[in-house]
Amino acid sequence: MSGQSTSGSVQDPADLGASNEKLVDLLITSLGALAAAGDVEQACRLAGQACVTLRRSDPKAARRFDVLLHRLTPKLTW
């Protein structure tokens, strides 16, 4: 049912891409906030998981999580 809205109409692939991009923005912002709140390790783990999950289906989004991960890892305390 990919590409269809809940009403049954077919969504424009450009709309799906924009929605995915907004979701990636939201997740990256959230992981940055998690790190700023003091849980850098968890933010890094989640960014790494997102990177691996997206690396084949959305390499551009995966790269954004990879960049976040590289920005956060120097802040780890272990």
**Can you give the pLDDT at residue 8?**
62
pLDDT bracket for residue 13 (50, 70, 90): confident
Domain boundaries, the chain: 13-75
Give the C-alpha separation, 37 to 40, whole Å: 8
Residue 35: how many CB atoms within 10 A of its CB?
21
Give the C-alpha separation, 46 to 22, whole Å: 18
pLDDT tens readout for residues 15-38: 777 889 999 999 999 999 999 999
